[in-house]
Amino acid sequence: MAHVFEITKDKAGEYRVAFKYNSEKIFWTEGYSSKASAQNAIDSIKKNGPGAEVVDSTAG
């Protein structure tokens, strides 16, 4: 499986979600106090991500 969401727990005890492609971390989330909140972030990305607008902030 090339694309995966990975939930980890950091040293501060917060849950984080990483999105990986071929084991390379593409993006990651803020820390969440519960695993359920991390799972909600994954669900939200899956639901809202495909239709997300692309904003180019490099145009000056």
Phi-psi region of 43 (alpha: psi -120 to 50; beta: other; left: phi over 0): alpha
Give 4-58 pLDDT, tens digit per residue: 999 999 999 999 999 999 989 999 999 999 999 999 999 999 999 888 998 999 9
Global pTM?
Answer: 0.81
Instruction: Give Cα 28 to chain centroid, integer Å.
Output: 4
Residue 32's pLDDT is what? 98
Phi first, then psi, for residue 40 (nearest 5°) are -65, -35
| Per-residue burial over 6-39, b = 16 or more CB atoms within 10 Å of its CB, e = otherwise | eeeeeeeebbbbebbeeeeeeeebeebeeeeebe
Domain segments of the chain: what residues?
3-48
Residue 19: the pLDDT is 95
Domain spanning 3-48: which CATH class is it, in words? alpha beta
Q: Residue 59's pLDDT band (boundaries 50, 70, 90)? A: confident
What confidence score (pLDDT) does residue 60 get?
Answer: 66
